[in-house]
Each structure stands twice: as C-alpha cells, then as structure tokens.
A and B are shown apart, each in its own frame.
Chain A
Amino acid sequence: MKALSANRLIDGDVVFWSNGSGVDQFSKAELFYDSAAQDAALEQAKSQFTTVVEPYLFDVAKQGGIFVPVSYRERLRALGPTNEPTHGKQAQGGHEIAALAKAVGGGHTSGRIDLLRKN
C-alpha cells in the first residue's frame, strides 16, 4: 500500500495526492493498492509539473486502526519539525495529527533514496 507526496511548486508546501491533485493533510491522502494505480498516480503528478515538484510514492501500513507512513521521515514530513511543534502541518492539531504523532517504527522511503540517486 502506498501514498504519494510532493511539494507544491509555488510555495514548497508538502502535499499528498488525492483524486488527481495535491491536498494538505496526510489524512486526506489517497491510498494506492496496486502497482498500476501507484504508477498512474506518479505519472499524473509528474505531468502536473507547474503545480507540484519532486513527487514520489511511499509505503503506508495500518497501525492502531489507521494508515500511517511506515517511514519516520515521511511521518515527520506529514507532521512538521519536532523542534517547533507549532510549525508545519502539526499546527492544525486534531485527532488525525495526534494519531500520526503516536505512530512508531521505521522503514526506508523512496523520498530519500531517489534524492540520493539523483544527486
């Protein structure tokens, strides 16, 4: 199971893909179950290159009844920096943010691996 993330071109804000465009919160992200859907989402995001930049897929898994990013990096990206709890998406608060913040464990993410390959 995967979700797709990117940054919005005009302001750099983190977005998650849902129904063909970027949304602000991970809780609204569309989940892509099979590789065909995942590839299609990635191609669609890449084609919208005046709207979003650096799109990539990342793994999600169920934890405590909700889907969360497997990788700590992706959870941090969906929340904001840990040193400034009022900065980033965590500032919005709510139970979905709280649940994301409680998630544990880690895994690799193509967000970082692709970046290292490109550099």
Chain B
Amino acid sequence: MYLYDEIDRDMLADRASEFRGQVARRLSGEITEDQFKPLRLMNGLYLQLHAYMLRVSVPYGSLSPVQLRALAAVSRKYDKGYGHFTTRTNIQFHWIKLKDTPDILDELATVGLHAIQTSGNCIRNITADPYAGATADEVDDPRVWSEVLRQWSTFHPEFSFLPRKFKFAVTASPKDRTAAKAHDIGLVLRRNRDGVLGFEVMVGGGMGRTPHIASTIREHLPADHLLSYVEAVLRVYNRHGRRDNMYKARIKILVASLGIDEFRRQVDAVWALIEQGEIDLPPSELARIRAAFAPLNFESLPAISPTFEAERANNPALARFARNNLRPHKQPGYAIVEVSLKAPGATPGDATAEQMELIADLGERYSLGDVRVTHAQNLVLPHVKLDDLPAVHAALAAAKLATPNIDLVTDIIACPGLDYCALANARAISVAQDIGEKFTSPDKAELIGELKIKISGCINACGHHHVGHIGILGVDKKGEEFYQLTLGGSGAEDASLGEMLGPALAYDRVAGAVETLVDTYLSVRVGDERFLDTFRRVGVAPFKEAVYADAH
C-alpha cells in the first residue's frame, strides 16, 4: 500500500489549515457564498437536501484498516454514525456541519485521507480494479499506475479548471470490474506479442445525459509513455471542450463530434510536440511507486483447505456465501472476499461506524491490512486465507455483512437519489429496497444468476443506470416520481448502453415490473444464459410485452 511521505502529509495539513481560514471568513461574512462555494467544493463539501455532504476520496478504492477506522470515527463524531460508499469508490457523509469540516479534514489528514479531487472540473478520484494485487488474471498491478496518475493529476495546474469533470479507470484484467468503457479515459493494461507492457487507451466514454461507450484511441500505448500521452489527450480536450454549454462539456461530446480518428490525429499532433521526457515518469520514480505495491508475504499453502471444506460441507450459509462472495486469488490457499453492503432492507453502499470498524479489524487480522471499495458499492477483503474463511464469514454474518448476493439481483447500485441529493428527480434507495423485497429467496436469486440492476435518481447517472442489465432512471413527470427502465446495458468488458423498455412507470409499479422482467427472462432463457445474454438474443419485445401487458 502506498504511504504518504512527509511532503504529502505537510500538504494535507496545509490544505486543511487553508480551508479552516476559508470557513472562518465565510462565517464572518468576509466572503460571500458565491466566493466560498468553489472553495468548499474543492474540499469535497456540497450542500445537499438536508445538510452539507462531505465526500472523502478513496484513491483507487484502497483503504488501510487505520484509514477505515478513521472514517468510522468521523461518521460517529460528526455525522449520524454511518457513511455511504459511492460508485466512484469514495465515501460520503450526509449530515455534516460546516463548522466541523476543518476539524474533520484535520483528522482525516492524520491518516492520509482527504477530499481532494472529489468535486469540481478537475481529474477526479481514479478508480481501479478492486481485486488488484489479488486476482490471477491481471498482467500488472493497476494500483501502481493509478497512483502514478494520482500524483500527476493532483493539483495539476493545467487541468484544475477543465471544461468539465474528468474520470479515469484503470484495470489490468480482461474481466473489467471498473466500468472502464464508461469513463472519460479507460485504461486496460496488456502485454503485446513481444511481452511489452502497455495500455489500451479508451476515450470518450461516459454516462449522464448523453451516454457513450468509449472508443479505443490507442491499441497499445507503451506503459512508459502513459503520462505524456494522457497529457496530450487532456490538452486537446482542455482546448476544444465545450465550455459554453455544460451539457456538452464532457470529452465524450468532443470525441463524438470530431470522430475518434480526427480526435486521435489531434492528440498525436499535440503528443509529438510535448517534451515527453519531461513528463513521462523516470524509471527510478516508477520503481519507487511500484515498491509500495510489492507482492505481499503470502504463506505457501495448499490450494485446498480441509478446514474450510469441512466447514462448508456442514454450514449451508457458509457454502452459499462461498458460492457468491468469494473470488479466486492468485495465491493458492487464499481467496478474495466480497463484503456485501446490500443486506435486505439496507441502503445500498451504507456502512455503520461499527460495521466499518469490524471490517477494519478483519482486514487487519485476516487480509494483510488491506480493504477495497468497489464501484458496485461493496467492500472487499482481498487476501483471506481459506483456512480463515469460516471465522471471517461468522464475524461478517454477525454484523449483517455476509449477504451472499454479489452480482445477483439484490446487489443493486443506487445513488442517494431524492432522499439526499439536491439534484435528484426521484428516490433511488427505496426503489432498491422495494426490489429487494420481491427477491427475498436466496435460492431464487442464485437461480436467476448474474443480474446487475443500477438505479439513478436523475439523468446525471451516478447510479450507472445506462450500463445496468436493468437500468432504472428516476424522471420528473409533473413533479411526481416516475422511472424509465432500460435493458441490456453493461459496464463490463462487453460494455453496452441499455435500450429503453417503454413509457416511464409510476413509483409503485417499478419493483413489480422488475419482477415481471425477471420472470420473463426465466421463461425464455436457454441453458445458463445470464439475463444480459438472453436479452441480447431475444431483444426487448418479450420484456416490453410482459411489463406493459395490462396497459393494452
């Protein structure tokens, strides 16, 4: 894990101190709200529906137990005892007081946490594969490159006032767990036929009002040139992005209007003029960062644990958890453990202070001091010995953290929606809860298999509805909550945008419609097809007919 050095720590302390002064000047009336708002937003502090919201950055979704405990402490001392993990792998506190914020930033700074790059038209928190350093299928550790990008982008003077916000995702695995193709820049690490490490660079993806799947601008950018090349991309965007219209200001609009070939030509022209040697990371610096993610001291263990196998055979709950929440680890005798924040009736992505502390303890004791946040609003213990799984499962279950539903119908992404967000049209959390009530049988959930439902309370798409197998978008119909359903989206390596099902549905019809969609899928699926596969084979017609049957 990358640890901040003295310069980083001083910088965070200075930043918190600077904000303390800004808050004091705002409270005294020395500066107006119009002057203060950009300053508080640069420190992650939004004004939401009921209170201020503080968004704390979790760079590439990686947390130490000490950091997770600090977040728990903030939630208990300054909020209502919980935090909300987001689709950018950050954490938000929804009941923050302005007067407390400087103290909170001070406390976070002591453990290397901050709210930098969580708001504003800058390069936002960089997300990465939550299984980095643990999964067998990666060609390199994406955290190394995410940290490189973090250091390059933080306070980058040229890119602090872009036309609009800018999001990176980095993965090194053929199975994309980052929604890379839905990002402004998606980076996929690969080795070419000569074994040279490089990035497939994808650009112009995004959700919101005009969703786009990213286009590949470079099939294989030698990894050494990452910084100079993305600097060229950002420079073209910074110059030509539509600052005149915020709805057309994201890079996806520029790429779509120019076409990927012309955009590539312009980037290459800029790249040729850039002093690449001045910007690309020297090998010694890359080695320094890479050393922070050096392979851990895994024990040499047999691939099969008799302890775990015996427990699993006798404990159906553990067996179900193992089927759904464990992923293979690169090291024999270990597993990646997904911790679901989607218990029945829970708010997707919420964790109480006690739950955070428990996960921190488990991370320390059983996962080599490592905890991850996923873009699906769950947490991960990436390095758990198979022998320890029964104990970890029991501890999680006692804290309602062992719901065996990863990637299943009740593992729903939902933005805070109208319950908290000042921009939302409609609620998202309660829709997720209502859908959860329709699928209380874990047997049925397993029968249905992989099904990713994603809910956004407005067109800004924080809940990633465009790439949901079932996407649900809250819309405003004469001031009332209605929901537009889309089918067939995917944020994974087979990325696609969902197709509209039909006219928007009233709030109380949504959960029933999802149940109908699932029943329709089960009635027409062939073999072990996922919902997404069935949809792609049969199209929208049977689903539309089933949901709107009673309207005819």
Q: What is A's interface to B at a CB cutoff of 8 Å?
A: 7, 9-14, 49-50, 53-54, 70-73, 76-77, 80-84, 87-88, 105-109, 111-112, 115-116, 119
A52's closest neighbor in chain B, by CB? B33
Report whether A82 and B427 are in contact in the complex, using a CB–CB cutoff of 8 Å. yes
Residues of A within 8 Å of B246, CB to CB, are 119
Residues of B within 8 Å of A76, CB to CB, are 49, 418-419
Report whether B47 and A12 are in contact in the complex, using a CB–CB cutoff of 8 Å. yes
Report whether A83 and B480 are in contact in the complex, using a CB–CB cutoff of 8 Å. no
Find B33's partner among A54, A82, A108 (CB 8 Å cutoff): A54
Report, nearest first, the 6 A-B pairs whose CB atoms are least far apart: A106-B479, A81-B419, A106-B480, A12-B51, A11-B97, A107-B479
Residues of A within 8 Å of B32, CB to CB, are 49
B384 at the interface (CB under 8 A from A): no
Of the A-B pairs whose beta carbons lie under 8 Å apart in the complex, a sample of 11, sorted by A's number, is A11-B98, A72-B418, A77-B49, A77-B50, A81-B50, A82-B430, A105-B480, A111-B422, A112-B422, A116-B423, A119-B246
Report whether A72 and B479 are in contact in the complex, using a CB–CB cutoff of 8 Å. yes
A13's closest neighbor in chain B, by CB? B51
Report whether A12 and B96 are in contact in the complex, using a CB–CB cutoff of 8 Å. yes
Report whether B27 and A9 are in contact in the complex, using a CB–CB cutoff of 8 Å. yes
Q: Mark B27-68, 1 if CB is under 8 A from A, else 0.
A: 111001100000000000001111110000000000000000
Residues of A within 8 Å of B430, CB to CB, are 82-83
What 17 additional pairs, Cβ within 8 angstroms, besides A11-B52, A12-B52, A50-B28? A9-B33, A9-B98, A10-B97, A10-B98, A12-B96, A12-B97, A12-B98, A13-B50, A14-B51, A71-B479, A81-B419, A82-B427, A83-B433, A84-B419, A88-B50, A107-B478, A108-B479
Residues of A within 8 Å of B99, CB to CB, are 10-11
Q: Please measure, in the bound complex, the distance between the C-alpha atom of A76 and the C-alpha atom of B48, giving whole angstroms.
A: 13
**B side interface size, CB within 8 A:** 34
With a 10 A CB-CB cut-off, give which of A11, A12, A71 has the most chain B CB atoms. A12
B159 at the interface (CB under 8 A from A): no
B420 at the interface (CB under 8 A from A): yes
Residues of A within 8 Å of B476, CB to CB, are 108
- How far does the Cβ of A112 sit from chain B's closest Cβ, in whole Å? 7
B481 at the interface (CB under 8 A from A): yes
Report whether B95 and A87 are in contact in the complex, using a CB–CB cutoff of 8 Å. yes
Q: Please measure, in the bound complex, the distance between the C-alpha atom of A84 and the C-alpha atom of B80, giving whole angstroms.
A: 11
Residues of A within 8 Å of B419, CB to CB, are 76, 81-84
A79's closest neighbor in chain B, by CB? B50
Residues of A within 8 Å of B51, CB to CB, are 7, 11-14
Q: Mark B415-453, 1 if CB is under 8 A from A, else 0.
A: 000111011000101100100000000000000000000
- How far does the Cβ of B348 sit from chain A's closest Cβ, in whole Å? 10
Residues of A within 8 Å of B50, CB to CB, are 12-14, 77, 80-81, 87-88
With A12-B96, A82-B430, A83-B347 in contact, is A112–B478 under 8 Å at CB? no
A46's closest neighbor in chain B, by CB? B33
Q: Please measure, in the bound complex, the distance between the C-alpha atom of A13 and the C-alpha atom of B99, giving whole angstroms.
A: 12
B225 at the interface (CB under 8 A from A): no
Tell me which residues from 70 to 97 in chain B have a Cβ below 8 Å from any Cβ of chain A: 80, 95-97
